[in-house]
Amino acid sequence: MTETAETPPLAALTPLPAPSPVGIGGWLILPILHLIADIVIFVLIFVQAAAPQMSPTIAAPSGPVLPPAPVSGVAVAPGPSQGEFASVAFLVFTAAIAAYTIYCLVRFFQKKEQVPALMTGFYSLIIAKAFLNLVLLNIYPELITGPGDTPEAVRGIVRAVVSGAIWIAYFNRSVRVQNTFVH
């Protein structure tokens, strides 16, 4: 068939390719909400952990209660247990994740090209934190505050692994992610 004045050229009939998605939108809103929610949760954890230390203590009328004095005559206050050390270490780890989360959020809004790697690290840390929580509960039973703590820790691992698998894959394969984080 030859082109005539009535038939348009073949190039004019081919549709233009759809524009690639660019910018923070679509599914990228959910990781932003996750980062913000985690920061709020971390702040609440810190406030809850600091609350017993910030509340005023009421001493008995006779003064503080000390354990019986050893033979040398010097009273020694009991030290923190290993479970308390583990709890503090877990809180420090949580603080490090909170700082990393803030860093990820800032880089996210700056649309830096390192965001996919940062988010992979973020979800990996969330998975590691969930596993560490369960391990600490099994090693130090004094950290268990109720009968639902261990099953909740297992559910936390499942949630972290499933969401991590989904979002790590998304950040490594999404066209929107590749087009958005280029600075």
Looking at every residue in the chain, the average pLDDT score rounds to: 84
pLDDT in tens, 7-42: 666 656 667 677 788 889 989 999 999 999 999 999
pLDDT at 66: 46
pLDDT at 6: 67
Domain boundaries, the chain: 81-183
Question: Is 89's pLDDT higher than 60?
Answer: yes
DSSP of the chain: ----SSSPPHHHHSPPPPPPP-SS-GGGHHHHHHHHHHHHHHHHHHHHHHHHHHSPP---TT----PPP-TTS---PPPPPHHHHHHHHHHHHHHHHHHHHHHHHHHHHTT-TTHHHHHHHHHHHHHHHHHHHHHHHHH-GGG--STTHHHHHHHHHHHHHHHHHHHHHHHHH-HHHHHH---
What is the pTM for the complete model shown? Answer: 0.75
